[in-house]
Each structure stands twice: as C-alpha cells, then as structure tokens.
Amino acid sequence: MTLQEQAGPASGAKDVTTASFRQDVIAESMKQPVLVDFWAPWCGPCKQLAPALEKAVAATKGGVRLTKMNIDDHPQIAGQLGIQSIPAVIAFDKGQPIDGFVGALPESQIKAFLERIAGKMAGGTKELLEAAAQVLAAGDVVQAIEAYGAVLEEDPGNTAAIGALAKIYIDQGELETAKGYLDSAPDDRQNDADIVAARAALDLAEQTSSVGDIKGLEAAVAANPNDHQARFDYALALSAQGQHDDAVDALIEIIKRDRAWNDDGARKQLIQFFDAWGPMDEKTKAGRRKLSALLFR
C-alpha cells in the first residue's frame, strides 16, 4: 500500500469536521467553490479516487478548494445531504451544494465534472451580493457578514457591501463598527444610495437610543394629543421596535395638527425614515403615499 493509499482521500485536502463545516465549507464557498470528499478509512474506492481528485483540483490553480470528511467520525453532514454511498463528492458554491458525483471516477470524468460546475458557478461581484442578500434575508447574520466580506475582498470600495454591513451592525447595536465601515467608503462614493441609506439608519439609531420608554410616551400622547414632542419621540421609539407603519402615522398626525412645529420637524423626520429604509422599500412607498395625500390634498 502506498503512502497515498494509507492517507485516504486527497492528501492535499483539508480535513473537515461537523463543527468546522460551516467555516471550512459554507463560509469558504462564498469566496470560491469548495469540494467535499466524503470518505471512510475502510472504503477502497475512496482511496482510488483520492489521487485523481487531488490532481484535477490542483489543475484549477486555486480556483477550487478541496476538503474531505470522514463519515465514520462525522456522519451528520452526510446524512443531511442524503449521501448513502461513498466515495461521494459534493461541490458547494455561495453556501449551497450545486453538484456532485458518487464513485471513483477516472481523472477525465473528474475534469469534466469540474468544468461542469464551473458553468454553474455564479461569478462576479453582482452574484456575490445577491448571495449575501439571500442569506441575510434567511436570517443568517453571521454568514451574511462573511458573504459581504467576500465582496469587499474582491472590491474593497463596493458601497453596496459597505452599506449592507453597516446596516447589519446597526441592527446589532454595534454603532461604532457601523461607522467604521461607512468611513471606509471612498470619498467620491459617499453620496451613493447605499451609503446615504446606511448613514440615515445610523443617525436614526443614535436618535432612538435617547428616547424614553415607549409605554410612557404612549401615555403622554394619550393624555395630551397636542404634545408634539412626545408624539415625535413616540414615533422614533416605534420605528426602533420595527413598528414602521405606526411610526409614520404618528409623524403624519403631527403634520396634520401643526405642519410648522419644530421647523417642519415631523416631515423632515419622515424623510429620514425614507432615506434609512431605502427608496424602493415598501415601507417607504407607503409612507410617501400617505405624506403626499396629506400635503397635496
């Protein structure tokens, strides 16, 4: 038995565990495609596949990363992926499995497999941003941060990624980190929509951090409907809790009662809401309709 055969699959591959799978495969696949070679020490075909697989991956000159997972020691991931026989190779790109094969294929077929997945790989910044937005929408903040970070590795001045990361950290209450990202945007891109929106969101977060208890503000407004400052602060508190429609309605009510209050402060605050939410957000569209209906009736 050769040293390569004793080593099992591709000796140049990184060993992955259940605990490291997220970082070594999912996160890394946001930067480049990652192959996972599922194997076991008793599997003869696994040992036959290893050198051919390693050679084919090496020929991509870093375009594809190779990892291996011993299913005897770490059966959970293989079970989740429905792997019933080995060797099995699964390709991950942008955090998702996109293709795979089972069995000890010859080198020519492995090369064809790599060429096939190359056609499925979403290349370029636009696709990276789309993938990052998808994982963020799914609620995976950690992976979203990694994905937007991958965008910045390719394009350090990308204001869409900078703005998205700033908003993530604003939502997490890490305002200084958000400021750091916004300050890193190129000087000539500070007026890009994503940066403007993130700065508006940051300003809003700083405002809302100083407003009073929402229940107390609600009681103050109920006790005196013309206490515009209390209603204004109430709108900020509502926005901070994600009650955006109610926040808009509170500011609209101030405008109805006293358009000139605080130098048109309620309308200006509405505009800041819209800037923070973004021009195409449904909350912004609905709020603008309400404001227009009031101002131009």
Domains and CATH numbers, the chain: 3-120 (3.40.30.10), 125-205 (1.25.40.10), 214-295 (1.25.40.10)
Q: Which residue has the tokens 């490291």?
A: 20
pLDDT at 7 exceeding the cut of 70: no
Tell which wins on pLDDT, 279 or 29.
Answer: 29
State yes or no: pLDDT of 33 exceeds 60.
yes
Confidence label for 79 from pLDDT (cuts 50, 70 and 90): confident
Check 46, 161, 162, 211 and give the catalytic one: 46
In the three-class reduction of DSSP (H, G, I as helix; E, B as strand; rest coil), residue 212 is classed as coil
**Higher per-residue confidence, 210 vs 122:** 210
Q: Please, are residues 179 and 202 in contact by the beta-carbon 8 Å criterion? A: yes
Tell me, what's the pLDDT at 63?
Answer: 81
Min mean pLDDT across 35-44, 78-87, 109-118, 144-153 is at: 109-118
| pLDDT per residue as tens digits for the range 126-153 | 777 888 888 888 888 988 898 898 888 8
pLDDT in tens, 214-259: 899 999 999 999 999 999 999 998 988 889 899 999 999 999 999 8
Distance, CA of 293 to CA of 297 (rounded, Å): 6
* Residue 46 a catalytic site member: yes
The pLDDT value given to residue 12: 65
Cis peptide before 75 (omega within 30 of 0): no
Q: Look up the pTM and report it.
A: 0.52
Q: Report d(CA 62, CA 296) in Å as an integer.
A: 60
Among 10, 25, 34, 43, the one annotated catalytic: 43
212 Rama sector, left if φ>0, alpha if ψ -120 to 50, beta otherwise: beta
pLDDT surpasses 60 at 8: no
| Interval 170-210: pLDDT, tens | 988 899 999 999 999 988 788 777 888 899 889 888 888 77
* Most distant CA atoms of the chain, gap in Å: 88
Q: Is 86 helix (H, G, I), strand (E, B) or coil?
A: coil
81 pLDDT more than 60: yes
Q: What confidence score (pLDDT) does residue 112 get?
A: 81
Q: What is the mean pLDDT of the chain?
A: 85
Extended beta strands in the chain, E state: 14-15, 34-39, 65-70, 88-93, 96-102
- Range 4-9 average pLDDT: 37
Q: What is the mean pLDDT of residues 270-288?
A: 84
Q: Phi and psi of 4, rounded to 5°?
A: -65, -40
Tell me the C-alpha to C-alpha distance, in Å, between residue 50 and each of 39, 42, 169: 10, 14, 43
Asked if pLDDT for residue 44 goes beyond 70, the answer is yes
CA–CA gap between residue 140 and residue 132 (Å, rounded):
10
Q: Is the dihedral of CA 223, 226, 228, 229 positive or negative?
A: negative
pLDDT value of residue 2 = 31
Whether 43 is catalytic is yes
